[in-house]
Amino acid sequence: MNKIVIIHDDSCNGCSRCVDMCPKKILYIEEGVRKCRVTDENQCDRLGGCEGVCPNKAIRITQN
């Protein structure tokens, strides 16, 4: 389970907005299920840009 980038599959509709805006290019859409996934979350800048563009609040960044 991810510890930094938390994705709620039930809310994610696979719209790719977070993927398109992520400056670190660590987000992608898993084909078939059409859900957001993260490659190397340790590269995350934790600035929350993805949270800001997600229409469903399906992605969250932990700050601890």
- Note the residue count of the chain: 64
Half-sphere exposure of 10 (CA within 13 A, CB side): 0
45 lies in the site for ligand SF4, by CB under 6 A: yes
60 lies in the site for ligand SF4, by CB under 6 A: no
Least distance to ligand SF4, CB of residue 55, Å: 6
Site string for ligand SF4, 17-36 (x = CB under 6 A): xx---xxx-xx--------x
Q: Cα–Cα distance between 28 and 22 in angstroms, integer?
A: 10
CB of 37 closer than 8 Å to CB of 28: yes
Q: Rule CB under 6 A: which residues touch ligand SF4?
A: 5, 7, 12-18, 22-24, 26-27, 36, 44-50, 53-54, 56, 58-59, 61
